[in-house]
Each structure stands twice: as C-alpha cells, then as structure tokens.
Amino acid sequence: MESSIEVLMAAEEKMDKCVEFLHHELSGLRTGKASPSLVENITVEYYGTATRLRDISNISTPEPRLLVISPFDPSSLAAIEKAISAANIGITPLSDGRLVRVPIPELSEQRRKDLAKVASRATEEQRIAIRNVRRDANDQLKALQKDGHITEDDRDESLAEVQKLTDNHIQKMDGMLAAKEKEVLSV
C-alpha cells in the first residue's frame, strides 16, 4: 500500500531527474566558447572498451576558444582524435604527439539559431516527460482514494501539490532554456 506522500516523493524524484537530464543536454550544446562539457562524454575505444573521454584524460580550457586534452596514457591519442572526429560535433582535433588541441570555431548566425531550436526542442521533450510524471502521479492518487487508502481531501491536497511540483520544475527548465538561448545567440 502506497501513501500520498510516497507518490509525491516519487513524482518529485522523477521530475528532478528530468531537470538534471535537460541540464546535461544543454551543457553539451556548443556555444562560441570552449567548455570541457562539449567533449567530456564522448566515448573513446580504449583497449577494446568504450570509455568516456573524461575518464582517460584531463580536459582544460587555457583560452576561450581552445580545449586541450591531455590523455593519461599517450598511446590513446589516436583513439581520442578519432572519437572526437566521429562525434560529429563540428570541431576538428589537432594532435602534437602529447596533447590533443581542439580549436572552437566562431558560430555563424544560422548555426546559432539552429542551436537555439535544438535547445528548445530538448526543453519541450523534458516538459512533456514532466507532464507524464504528473499524469501518472495523479492517476496513482485517484486510485488510492478510490481504494479507500486516502480521503478525498487528501487526494485533492496531493493533486494540488503535484501541480505545484510540476509548475516549479517547468519553471526551472524554462530558466535554463532562456539562459542557454541567451548564451548561444550572443555574439
């Protein structure tokens, strides 16, 4: 038997995961500035195992338009270069035998608009996911009331709380989207 509190906690946890996922998605969108988050989750074929780039190297940004990747194992340089090229994120790695340098090119106006659309689409997908969590929680609360585990007043109170959680999480995501659009569209 679940209680309305358990349903609310589970819904909030799922909504938090949606916000976290969106944050991760937006941080991977390339702006005009170099950021380790552009490449840190690229998977590299390292001794036959798919490994994230951040797990086999240090990634730094010595200049605003340059990423420097220094692998822990110099023999992985070629694999890192290949993985970055294969990731198809619009950047070309340059190796000097010890480090991989990744210059970040200036974004065109059209590319900026496209990135803003991608950010919008990702945000909308997570809004939909949050609304689905809200619907599931509401259905569970109504079922609890129907089965006699909670009263109508508890159900109504809990439904209002679910709506408040939904509004708060969507507001957080809208703020994240606005910040990312401002970052992407600024020259």
Full DSSP string of the chain = ---HHHHHHHHHHHHHHHHHHHHHHHHTS--SS--GGGTTT-EEEETTEEEEHHHHEEEEEEETTEEEEEESSGGGHHHHHHHHHHTTSS---EE-SS-EEEE-PPPPHHHHHHHHHHHHHHHHHHHHHHHHHHHHHHHHHHHHHHTTSS-HHHHHHHHHHHHHHHHHHHHHHHHHHHHHHHHHH--
- According to the model, what pLDDT value does residue 162 have? 94
- According to the model, what pLDDT value does residue 112 have? 82
| Structural domain range at position 16 | 4-27+108-185
Query: In which band, very low, low, confident or very high, does the pLDDT at 134 lie, cut at 50, 70 and 90?
Result: very high
| Residue with the larger pLDDT of the pair 75 and 171 | 171
Report d(CA 146, CA 154) in Å as an integer.
Answer: 12
Query: In which band, very low, low, confident or very high, does the pLDDT at 1 lie, cut at 50, 70 and 90?
Result: very low
Domain CATH code at residue 42: 3.30.1360.40
Query: In which band, very low, low, confident or very high, does the pLDDT at 31 lie, cut at 50, 70 and 90?
Result: low
HSE at residue 183, side-chain half, CA atoms within 13 A, is 18
Q: Is residue 128 pLDDT above 80, yes or no? A: yes
Query: 120 and 174 in one domain?
Result: yes
Query: 45 and 21 in one domain?
Result: no
Across the chain, mean pLDDT equals 87
Q: Is residue 107 pLDDT above 60, yes or no? A: yes
Last residue in a domain, options 86, 103, 120: 103
Last residue in a domain, options 87, 103, 119: 103
Query: 176 and 114 in one domain?
Result: yes
Q: Quote the number of domains for the chain.
A: 2
Q: Is residue 100 pLDDT above 50, yes or no? A: yes
Most confident of 18-27, 100-109, 158-167: 158-167
Q: What is the pTM of this model?
A: 0.68
Query: 112 and 173 in one domain?
Result: yes
- Cβ atoms of 60 and 68 closer than 8 Å: yes
- Cβ atoms of 140 and 3 closer than 8 Å: no
Last residue in a domain, options 68, 103, 138: 103
The CA-atom distances, in angstroms, between 81 and each of 39, 50, 53, 65, 90 are: 11, 14, 10, 18, 13
- According to the model, what pLDDT value does residue 32 have? 67
